[in-house]
């Protein structure tokens, strides 16, 4: 099946630092999306990418759709305490299903 | 604006019992799906549907059944619950393609199987 490999699994950073996480796949994806999940809630969309090579920003967040369509990264600049949570990449594959990575758990120390 | 509604939010079952997790959306979305979330495993796709009358298996379909008789509803059935099905379950929906848009998630259903 289509597997999404997300890294790192967890990150512990100081407030103000930049963060980078990425996802790779052995299969081509048509869409890459990045979600954030707060405790006790469902994931919420941060950024959606629809074209290979696309670079999109949303405030302090920047994400790119890899040119090979097999990878994507998410950067968070100048992290703040409310950035704490689990970040997931997700992709729409050839079977028209949406698959998720295992998540990156982010901890921000004030 | 109800969005995606899941019930129940919490459920405790004994091994071998059956139950149905309900999911309803009021956004006229064609695509609906069920995920389970376990620590360190992320969200794993159980079953999905691209429209009424159409369902398909995801990554971890064993032990679960689904049906899609209407656009709005996508129930998930556990026919004979096992402890391995202890998890948090999320229903999600989106408008369909050809490229999918944002997946909208319900609040989750926490299931414990004893």
* pLDDT tens string A63-96: 999 999 999 999 999 999 999 999 999 988 766 7
Sign of CA dihedral B34, A19, A11, A24: positive
Contact B33 A97 (CB under 8 A): yes
Q: Scan for tokens 């360190």, then name that residue.
A: B40
Instruction: Assign A2 a pLDDT band (cuts: 50, 70, 90).
Output: low
Q: Name the residue facing A41 among B31, B43, B107 (closest C-beta).
A: B107
Q: Name the residue facing A99 among B45, B96, B99 (closest C-beta).
A: B45
Q: How many CB atoms lie within 10 A of CB B25?
A: 23
Q: Scan for tokens 């990575």, then name that residue.
A: A101
| d(C-alpha A74, C-alpha A83), whole Å | 13
- For the cut 60, the answer to whether the pLDDT of residue B98 exceeds it is no
Under an 8 Å CB criterion, which residues of A touch B? 1, 6, 9, 30-31, 33, 35, 40-45, 48, 50, 88, 90, 92, 95-103
B90 touches chain A (CB under 8 A): yes
Q: Which helix (H) or strand (E) holds A45?
A: strand A44-49
B53 touches chain A (CB under 8 A): no
């Amino acid at each position: 099946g289509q597997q999404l490999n997300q890294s790192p699994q967890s990150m512990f950073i100081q407030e103000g630092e930049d963060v980078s996480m990425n996802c790779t796949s052995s299969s081509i994806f048509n869409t890459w999306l990045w979600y954030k999940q707060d405790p006790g809630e469902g994931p919420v969309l941060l950024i959606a990418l629809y074209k290979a090579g696309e670079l999109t920003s949303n405030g302090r967040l920047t994400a790119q759709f890899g040119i090979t369509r097999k990878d994507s990264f998410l950067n968070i600049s100048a992290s703040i305490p409310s950035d704490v949570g689990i970040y997931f990449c997700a992709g729409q594959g050839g079977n028209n299903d949406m698959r998720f990575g295992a998540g990156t758990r982010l901890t921000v120390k004030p | 604006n109800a969005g995606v509604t899941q019930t129940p939010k919490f459920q405790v079952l004994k091994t071998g019992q059956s139950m149905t997790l309900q999911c309803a959306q009021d956004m006229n979305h064609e695509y609906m799906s069920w995920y389970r979330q376990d620590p360190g495993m992320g969200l794993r796709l159980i079953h999905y549907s691209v429209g009424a009358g159409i369902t398909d298996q995801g990554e971890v379909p064993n032990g679960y059944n689904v049906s899609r008789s209407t656009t709005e509803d996508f129930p998930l059935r556990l026919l004979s619950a096992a402890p391995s099905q202890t998890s948090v379950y999320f229903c999600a929906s989106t408008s369909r393609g050809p490229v999918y848009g944002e997946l909208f998630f319900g609040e989750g259903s926490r299931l414990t199987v004893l």
